[in-house]
Amino acid sequence: MFMIDVRRVDMHTHTRCSDGVLSPAALVQKARAAGLSAFSVTDHDTIEGVQEAQETGRDAGMEVIAGVELSVVVEDDDVHLLGYFFDPDDEGLLRHLERGRTDRIRRVKEIVSRLNALGMELSVEEVFEQAGGEAVGRPHIAAALVEAGHVKSEQEAFERYIATGKPAYVARERVSGIDAVDLLHEAGGIAVLAHPGHWISDYVIRTLVEAGLDGIETIHPSHDKMLTGYYTSLAKRFKLLRSGGSDFHGRPNEGERLGAYSIPYPRLERLRRRAHAIQSGLERTS
C-alpha cells in the first residue's frame, strides 16, 4: 500500500548552550509537542547541547541530528553556515569551535569596556551569568543591560548600542566560509547556507557553491513566500539540497515558530545521503 510520509523535520534550532532559552531536554519535549518527527540542534559555535538532546530524544522517540551554526565571511559579507552529520569528536572541528568561543569571550570583554566608556556600569561577569552554556554573545549582553536597568528591552540594547555599526559594536574574528565548508566536509559533515534572505547576494552563494556547499535553507521565518520560491529555484539552478527550519530560540516573541517552519522527512534523508557520500569519500582517501 502506498503511504504518504507526513513526518516533518526542523533543521535549525538553538538551546541555552548558545543564545537560546531552553535546555536541550526541554527543547526535545517542545519539538515533540509541536508534532515534529526529527530536528537538529544548531547552536552557534558549540555542540555542547547535542548529546543531551540525543539522549532525551532516544527516550522520547524523537530523532535528533547533530548540528552547529558557524559565523563566517564570504566576499566580505557575514554569512551563517549550518553543519550537520559531522563526527562530534573530529579534532579539526572541535578546535575550530573552541577558537570561535574564545573569540566570543574576547569580544564580550571589548563590548563591555565600550559600554563602560559610554557611562554604563556593567561587568563581564554579569554578562556571563546570562549565558547558559559555552557560547556567549550579544543577546547575553543585551539581557545583562536590561537586568542592570540601562535599557528597557533587549531590542533597545541592540538598537542603541550593540547592533552592527552602533557605538559599542565590536566585530568577531573573520573566518573564511570557504575554509569552513572544507572543515565540515573533513569532519564527515555537510554545509548548508542559513537564512540567505538576510541580504546574502547571489554572488556570495555562487562562491560558496564553488567551494562545495551542499544545501541552502529555503524555509526560514525570515523568508516570505516569494523568497522561499526564489531560493527554491536557486537550489535547482545550483544543484543544492533544500533545507529549512524555525531558527527557534525559545523566546516568547517567537510565537509558535516551532513546528511552523519545517521540511518533509524525505529531504532529511537526502541531506543524510549526501553526508554518507562525503564520509565514504573520506574513508577511501584515508
Instruction: Give the binding site for ligand AMP (CB under 6 A).
Output: 19, 44, 137-139, 155, 158, 163
- Answer whether 49's CB lies under 8 Å from 15's CB: yes
E-strand ranges in the chain read 8-13, 38-41, 63-74, 77-84, 190-193, 215-219, 241-244, 263-264
Within 179-198, the residues that bind Fe ion by CB under 5 A are: 194
Q: Which is nearer to ligand AMP, 194 or 204 (CB)?
A: 194
Q: Which is nearer to Zn ion, 45 or 52 (CB)?
A: 45
Within 131-170, the residues that bind Fe ion by CB under 5 A are: none
Q: Which is nearer to ligand AMP, 21 or 163 (CB)?
A: 163
| Burial annotation 194-231 (CB, 10 A radius, 16+ → b, else e) | bbbbeebeeebbbbbbebebbbbbbbbbebeeebbebb
- According to the binding rule CB under 5 A, does residue 10 interact with Zn ion? no
- Nearest approach in angstroms of CB 170 to ligand AMP is 10
When binding is defined by CB under 5 A, the residue of 220, 247, 261, 267 that contacts Zn ion is 247
Distances (CA, A) of 261 to 26, 95, 217, 230, 248: 19, 32, 11, 17, 9
Q: Which is nearer to ligand AMP, 105 or 163 (CB)?
A: 163
- Applying CB under 5 A, the residues found at the interface with Fe ion are 19, 80, 194
Q: Which residues bind Zn ion (CB under 5 A)?
A: 69, 247
